[in-house]
């Protein structure tokens, strides 16, 4: 039964893809069998992450970007992460409504993913579903998440190209686009450029990027998702990043996810360690410098 499901999945049958995703999402043995079976067929699809503050227009922009990709002859999978928060409780319904233009298109497959209830974290779950879409022959897999916490960092772990979407009028609120989100951006988009203040927001973002010497090459684009303006340029910018980065070697994504999860754990351990408090007091008293204290902390943690 699994064998025929895998066959149909590899042929790109939407019903088989949907069933495979459910099997993988529930972390069933069958899901693991499917993933094992498709493993040799992976690595063709490109993963593009869209993240940014709530309401920036990510879903609308993803819808328009899907339209542009279809014009370019690409098949597309979309994973829309529902933050399951009371504020964006309507996200799934809203996202579905905005994607209805692609509902009858066999070249587009859309799946919502609840951000709660994944044992290994969101990025492993999204990564596995992206693998299934890859196996089903999608050329591009898009991952939409709300940049309101951990999830936007996780997008960077999974995606080959990370697009960060903001809206104008953030004003001083550009700070809300935390440094972390700028770190991960390969392409920055100011959407809703039909609204006033769009130019100002673009200038502010460029200035913030200039503070980070390593990131001056990041494109800052303007789009109006509702009219489609700037969407072709966005597709070009994403392709340019792909071309520059090249195809990641097999296993890269998984390595990245595991490394980031390990880094989070180590960081939490460091912050909770009693040695940190002691060393920090010593630095405060002028008995140690920061570099020596850090080295001592690394040694102490290594001995645990
Ligand atoms: N004026 C204007 N409105 C836009 C534009 N793009 C999206 N919107 C509107 O902004 C609202 C939010 O759009 P969404 O696409 O749901 O935004 P989102 O970032 O996906 O929202 P969440 O997933 O809830 O975080 C909707 O009412 C859209 O119609 C744009 O370019 N210009
Ligand atoms: Mg959305």
Q: Is 57 a pocket residue for ligand 1 (Cβ < 6 Å)?
A: yes
Q: Give φ, ψ of 52 to 5 degrees.
A: 155, 175
**Any idea where the domains of the chain sit in the sequence?**
1-41, 42-248, 257-303
Lowest-confidence range among 101-115, 187-201, 273-287?
101-115
Which ligand ends up closest to the CA of 165?
1
Q: Which atom of ligand 1 is nearest to the CA of 191?
A: 31
Residues in the chain: 304
The rounded Å distance from CA 84 to ligand 2 centre is 12
For ligand 1, pick from 53, 60, 86, 101 the residue to mutate: most ligand atoms within 8 Å of CB.
Answer: 60
Q: Which atom of ligand 1 is nearest to the CA of 91?
A: 24
Contact criterion met (CB below 8 Å) for 180 and 152: yes
In this predicted structure, what is the pLDDT of residue 151? 57
The mean pLDDT of 281-300, rounded to a whole number, is: 94
Q: Residue 112 is encoded by which pair of tokens?
A: 């919502």
Q: Is 58 a pocket residue for ligand 1 (Cβ < 6 Å)?
A: yes
In this predicted structure, what is the pLDDT of residue 94? 46
Percent of the chain whose predicted confidence (pLDDT) is above 70: 83
In this predicted structure, what is the pLDDT of residue 205? 84
In this predicted structure, what is the pLDDT of residue 299? 92
- Condensed to tens digits (0 to 9), the pLDDT of residues 219-272 reads 899 999 999 999 999 999 999 998 988 777 777 777 877 887 788 888 889 999
Contact criterion met (CB below 8 Å) for 163 and 80: no
Percent of the chain whose predicted confidence (pLDDT) is above 90: 46
Q: Is 229 a pocket residue for ligand 1 (Cβ < 6 Å)?
A: no
**Is residue 166's pLDDT more than 50?**
yes
The rounded Å distance from CA 57 to ligand 2 centre is 7
Q: Give φ, ψ of 185 to 5 degrees.
A: -70, 130
Contact criterion met (CB below 8 Å) for 190 and 201: yes
134 Cβ contact list (under 8 Å, min separation 6) = 41, 42, 43, 44, 45, 141
User: What is the Rg, in whole angstroms, of the alpha carbon atoms belonging to the chain?
Assistant: 21
Place of tokens 């309101």: 148
For atom 28 of ligand 1, the residue with the nearest CA is 57
What's the CA gap between 81 and 145, in Å, rounded? 5
Q: Is 128 a pocket residue for ligand 1 (Cβ < 6 Å)?
A: no
Q: Residue 300 is encoded by which pair of tokens?
A: 């102490």
Architecture of domain 42-248: 3-Layer(aba) Sandwich (3.40)
The mean pLDDT of 29-41, rounded to a whole number, is: 92
User: Which helix or strand (DSSP H or E) is residue 51 part of?
Assistant: strand 46-52
The rounded Å distance from CA 125 to ligand 2 centre is 19
Residue-by-residue DSSP string for 85-136: -STTTTHHHHHHHHTGGGTT-TTEEEEEEESSS-TT-HHHHHHHHHHHHHHT
Q: Is 151 a pocket residue for ligand 1 (Cβ < 6 Å)?
A: no
Residue whose C-alpha is closest to residue 188's, from 171, 212, 209, 210: 209
In this predicted structure, what is the pLDDT of residue 204? 85
Lowest-confidence range among 50-59, 133-142, 148-157, 195-204?
148-157
At 288 the three-state DSSP class reads coil
Quote the crossing angle between the two packed helices 29-38 and 122-135, to the nearest 10°. Answer: 50
- Condensed to tens digits (0 to 9), the pLDDT of residues 182-221 reads 778 899 999 999 998 888 888 888 888 877 666 667 889 9
Q: Where are the alpha helices (DSSP H) in the chain?
A: 2-10, 14-25, 29-38, 58-71, 91-98, 122-135, 151-158, 179-184, 198-210, 231-245, 252-272, 274-284, 290-303
Quote the crossing angle between the two packed helices 151-158 and 122-135, to the nearest 10°. Answer: 40
What's the CA gap between 221 and 238, in Å, rounded? 11
Strand partners, 164: 51, 188
Q: Is 81 a pocket residue for ligand 1 (Cβ < 6 Å)?
A: no
- Condensed to tens digits (0 to 9), the pLDDT of residues 170-192 reads 655 555 556 667 778 899 999 99
Q: Is 12 a pocket residue for ligand 1 (Cβ < 6 Å)?
A: no
For atom 14 of ligand 1, the residue with the nearest CA is 57
User: Which helix or strand (DSSP H or E) is residue 222 part of?
Assistant: strand 219-222
- Condensed to tens digits (0 to 9), the pLDDT of residues 117-127 reads 666 667 778 88
Q: Which atom of ligand 1 is nearest to the CA of 80?
A: 23
Q: Is 91 a pocket residue for ligand 1 (Cβ < 6 Å)?
A: yes
């Amino acid at each position: 039964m699994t064998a025929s499901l895998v066959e149909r999945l590899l042929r790109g049958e939407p019903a088989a893809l949907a069933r495979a995703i459910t099997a993988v999402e529930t972390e069933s043995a069958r899901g693991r069998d499917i993933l094992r079976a498709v493993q040799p067929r992976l690595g063709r699809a490109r993963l593009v992450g869209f993240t940014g503050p709530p309401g920036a227009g990510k879903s609308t922009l993803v819808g328009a970007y899907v339209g542009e990709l279809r014009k370019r002859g690409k098949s597309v999978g979309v994973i829309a992460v529902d933050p399951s928060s009371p504020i964006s409780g309507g996200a799934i319904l809203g996202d579905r409504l905005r994607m209805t233009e692609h509902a009858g298109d066999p070249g587009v497959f859309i799946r919502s993913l609840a951000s709660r209830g994944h044992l290994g974290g969101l990025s492993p779950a999204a990564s596995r579903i992206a693998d299934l879409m890859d196996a089903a022959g999608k050329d591009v897999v898009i991952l939409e998440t709300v940049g309101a916490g951990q999830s936007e960092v996780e997008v960077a772990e999974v995606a080959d190209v990370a697009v960060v979407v903001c809206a104008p009028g953030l004003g001083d609120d550009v700070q809300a686009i935390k440094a972390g989100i700028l770190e991960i951006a390969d392409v920055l988009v100011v959407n809703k450029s039909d609204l006033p203040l769009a130019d100002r927001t673009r200038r502010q973002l460029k200035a913030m990027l200039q503070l980070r010497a390593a990131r001056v090459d990041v494109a800052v684009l303007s789009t109006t998702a509702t009219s489609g303006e700037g969407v072709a340029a966005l597709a070009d910018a994403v392709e340019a990043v792909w071309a520059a980065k090249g195809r990641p070697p097999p296993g890269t994504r998984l390595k990245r996810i595991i490394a980031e999860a390990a880094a989070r754990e180590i960081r939490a351990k460091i912050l909770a360690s009693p040695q940190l408090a002691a060393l920090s007091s010593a630095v405060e008293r002028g008995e140690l410098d920061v570099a020596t204290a850090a080295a001592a902390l690394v040694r102490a943690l290594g001995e645990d």
